[in-house]
């Protein structure tokens, strides 16, 4: 279905695409707002808009704007929109027949993308289990579950996918000779390094929000140190202060060069203790992020929601560890993970809105708005 639309849009007048694609991007923002905001919140909606403007769209040009958008942006947007109906079911809200039909069609499109099929399968499995326990099973949830399973079966049995895998091996010639453990290490390292050893504005904003939330909520020095850690990692190892770090800590400034095609820990360096330091820093940062999320939301359903969103986002990129295009595909394979970071940032922003003064949140929003404006201007200048 996705390939059909790719070919169709390439044959249509470009104006149709130029109108439709921004609408889909707008729908992505609406879906995030409907799913993760507790109530109508204008500042939070503007926050979603700003984060979507900060997304590095330049990377979506790497294999063709139409192809990448329809393969990543459209399935994710349609999948999230279908989950709006699922949310209404879980909350026992009234749903129209048209909403059911549209949600089913959107879900059918979304599961044509294998990573989305896996992600949505986990969501519908969890929803099915919840509704069964509550003794109010719903036909739409089981239909969604069936569509996700059907999408995966179709992907696994389609002969074209095996042919493509053999062709794509040219990007990583000895990929089939790498062990499962090595592939997992490559997947974990390459995923986390993109945010910690390379400066990423979305990750920086997420870390900043967690820093503000935990630093002001807790008085214990240990928690404050934890709050600083991811933010410091983003600024120092992400080369935000490149000149300063390069002069004071020259070996740390080049830590990203430790990342090779075969990951951080290879047959050539696994006996050297220092080769484990970069991986340890990546792992510790990811673990502390999860701890900070828990400290902010504590023992509530929001903690579970944030953990689930981050886990699905991380898994969506980790799956690429089993593909020879893990490096060739570039940052576009991080699309779902980046959106999951946006979603968790929205959850923290919403929580902060209840704790901090309106003036503080407005000022924070203005700063992020300026970052978004310059980020998008930079994108336009790069075209």
Domain boundaries, the chain: 1-157, 171-383
Q: Model confidence over 323-349: pLDDT tens digits?
A: 777 777 778 888 999 999 999 999 999
Q: Model confidence over 254-297: pLDDT tens digits?
A: 565 556 666 777 666 666 777 778 888 889 999 999 999 999 99
Q: Work out whether the CA dihedral 269, 275, 278, 281 comes out positive or negative.
A: positive
CA distance 192 to 279: 9
Question: What count of residues does the chain have?
Answer: 383
Q: Which of 60, 41, 22, 40 is nearest to 338 (CA)?
A: 60
**pTM, to two decimals:** 0.91
Confidence of residue 244 (pLDDT cuts 50, 70, 90): low
Q: Model confidence over 2-54: pLDDT tens digits?
A: 888 888 988 888 899 889 999 999 999 999 999 999 887 899 999 999 999 99
Residues 6+ apart with CB under 8 A from 156: none
Q: What residues are paired with 263 via a beta bridge?
A: 260
């Amino acid at each position: 279905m996705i390939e059909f639309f790719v070919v169709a849009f390439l044959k249509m007048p470009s104006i149709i695409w130029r109108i439709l694609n921004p609408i889909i991007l707008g729908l992505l923002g609406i879906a995030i707002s409907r799913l993760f905001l507790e109530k109508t919140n204008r500042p939070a909606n503007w926050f979603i808009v700003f984060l979507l403007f900060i997304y590095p769209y330049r990377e979506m040009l790497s294999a063709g704007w139409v192809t990448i958008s329809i393969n990543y942006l459209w399935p994710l947007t349609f999948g999230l929109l279908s989950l709006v109906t699922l949310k209404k079911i879980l909350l026992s809200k009234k749903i129209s027949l048209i909403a059911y039909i549209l949600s089913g069609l959107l879900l059918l499109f979304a599961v044509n993308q294998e990573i989305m099929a896996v992600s949505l399968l986990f969501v519908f499995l969890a929803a099915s289990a919840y509704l069964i326990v509550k003794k109010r099973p719903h036909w739409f949830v089981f239909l969604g579950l069936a569509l996700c399973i059907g999408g995966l079966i179709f992907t696994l049995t389609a002969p074209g996918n095996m042919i493509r895998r053999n062709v794509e091996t040219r990007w990583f010639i000895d990929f089939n000779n790498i062990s499962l453990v090595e592939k997992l290490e490559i997947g974990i390292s390459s995923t986390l390094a993109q945010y910690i050893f390379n400066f990423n504005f979305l990750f920086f904003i997420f870390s900043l929000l967690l820093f503000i939330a935990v630093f002001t909520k807790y008085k214990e020095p240990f928690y404050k140190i934890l709050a600083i850690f991811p933010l410091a990692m983003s600024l120092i190892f992400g080369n935000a202060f490149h000149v300063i770090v390069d002069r004071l800590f020259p070996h740390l400034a080049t830590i990203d060069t430790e990342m090779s095609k075969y990951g951080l820990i290879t047959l050539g360096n696994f006996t050297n203790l220092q080769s484990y330091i970069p991986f340890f820093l990546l792992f510790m940062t990811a673990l502390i992020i999860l701890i900070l999320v828990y400290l902010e939301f504590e023992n509530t359903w929001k903690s579970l929601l944030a953990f689930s969103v981050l886990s699905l986002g991380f898994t969506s990129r980790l799956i690429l560890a089993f593909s020879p295009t893990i490096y060739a595909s570039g940052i576009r394979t991080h699309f779902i993970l980046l959106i999951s970071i946006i979603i968790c940032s929205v959850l923290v922003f919403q929580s902060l809105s209840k704790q901090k003064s309106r003036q503080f949140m407005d000022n924070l929003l203005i700063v992020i708005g300026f970052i978004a404006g310059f980020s998008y201007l930079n994108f336009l200048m790069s075209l």
